[in-house]
Protein backbone atom coordinates (compact mmCIF):
# COMPACT_ATOMS: atom_id res chain seq x y z
CA UNK A 1 0.00 0.00 0.00
CA UNK A 2 2.79 2.46 0.89
CA UNK A 3 4.65 1.60 -2.31
CA UNK A 4 1.59 2.44 -4.40
CA UNK A 5 1.12 5.76 -2.56
CA UNK A 6 4.80 6.69 -3.03
CA UNK A 7 4.76 5.87 -6.72
CA UNK A 8 1.53 7.78 -7.26
CA UNK A 9 2.90 10.77 -5.35
CA UNK A 10 6.07 10.80 -7.46
CA UNK A 11 4.03 10.59 -10.62
CA UNK A 12 1.67 13.36 -9.53
CA UNK A 13 4.40 15.82 -8.50
CA UNK A 14 4.54 17.54 -11.94
CA UNK A 15 0.75 17.76 -11.91
CA UNK A 16 0.89 19.35 -8.46
CA UNK A 17 3.37 21.94 -9.73
CA UNK A 18 1.14 22.71 -12.71
CA UNK A 19 -1.97 23.10 -10.56
CA UNK A 20 -0.14 25.32 -8.08
CA UNK A 21 0.99 27.63 -10.89
CA UNK A 22 -2.38 27.77 -12.61
CA UNK A 23 -4.46 28.15 -9.42
CA UNK A 24 -3.18 31.67 -8.63
CA UNK A 25 -3.88 31.17 -4.92
CA UNK A 26 -2.95 34.35 -3.06
CA UNK A 27 -0.56 33.78 -0.15
CA UNK A 28 -0.12 30.09 -1.00
CA UNK A 29 3.29 29.99 0.67
CA UNK A 30 1.96 31.38 3.93
CA UNK A 31 -1.12 29.18 3.93
CA UNK A 32 0.89 26.05 3.23
CA UNK A 33 3.34 26.65 6.06
CA UNK A 34 0.53 27.57 8.45
CA UNK A 35 -1.16 24.24 7.64
CA UNK A 36 2.09 22.50 8.55
CA UNK A 37 2.46 24.52 11.75
CA UNK A 38 -1.08 23.77 12.92
CA UNK A 39 -1.10 20.10 11.94
CA UNK A 40 -1.58 17.92 15.01
CA UNK A 41 1.55 16.04 16.07
CA UNK A 42 0.03 12.57 15.62
CA UNK A 43 -1.02 13.43 12.05
CA UNK A 44 2.29 14.98 11.05
CA UNK A 45 3.99 11.59 10.68
CA UNK A 46 1.22 10.03 8.60
CA UNK A 47 -0.28 10.62 5.20
CA UNK A 48 -1.41 14.13 6.05
CA UNK A 49 2.11 15.11 7.02
CA UNK A 50 3.48 13.62 3.83
CA UNK A 51 1.00 15.61 1.76
CA UNK A 52 1.86 18.88 3.52
CA UNK A 53 5.61 18.24 3.16
CA UNK A 54 5.12 17.48 -0.55
CA UNK A 55 3.19 20.72 -0.98
CA UNK A 56 5.93 22.63 0.86
CA UNK A 57 8.60 20.97 -1.28
CA UNK A 58 6.74 21.91 -4.44
CA UNK A 59 6.53 25.51 -3.24
CA UNK A 60 10.27 25.63 -2.57
CA UNK A 61 10.87 24.15 -6.02
CA UNK A 62 8.73 26.82 -7.65
CA UNK A 63 10.35 29.63 -5.67
CA UNK A 64 13.95 28.55 -6.23
CA UNK A 65 13.64 27.40 -9.85
CA UNK A 66 15.77 29.39 -12.28
CA UNK A 67 12.85 30.68 -14.37
CA UNK A 68 14.87 33.01 -16.57
CA UNK A 69 16.70 30.06 -18.11
CA UNK A 70 13.34 28.63 -19.15
CA UNK A 71 12.06 31.79 -20.80
CA UNK A 72 15.28 33.52 -21.87
CA UNK A 73 16.21 32.37 -25.37
CA UNK A 74 19.66 33.97 -25.18
CA UNK A 75 20.44 31.97 -22.03
CA UNK A 76 19.46 28.71 -23.74
CA UNK A 77 21.51 29.55 -26.85
CA UNK A 78 24.59 30.43 -24.76
CA UNK A 79 24.27 27.23 -22.74
CA UNK A 80 23.94 25.16 -25.92
CA UNK A 81 26.99 26.80 -27.53
CA UNK A 82 29.13 26.30 -24.39
CA UNK A 83 28.18 22.64 -24.06
At residue 2 the predicted structure's pLDDT band, cuts being 50, 70 and 90, is: low
> For 41-78, what is each residue's pLDDT tens digit?
777 777 778 888 888 888 888 888 877 666 666 655 66
Average model confidence (pLDDT) across the chain: 77
**Which residues lie below 8 Å from residue 58, measured CB to CB, with a gap of 6+?**
13, 16, 17, 20
CA atoms within 13 A on the CB side of 45: 2
Better pLDDT: 7 or 28: 28
Chain center to CA of 39 = 19
Better pLDDT: 3 or 48: 48
The reported pLDDT for the residue numbered 36 is 82
Q: Give start and end residues of each alpha helix (H) in the chain.
A: 2-23, 28-38, 41-44, 47-64, 67-71, 73-82
- Neighbour tally for 40: CB within 10 Å: 9
pTM of the model: 0.64
Amino acid sequence: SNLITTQALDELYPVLLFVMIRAHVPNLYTECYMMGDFLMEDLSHGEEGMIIKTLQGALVHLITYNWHQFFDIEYRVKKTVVN
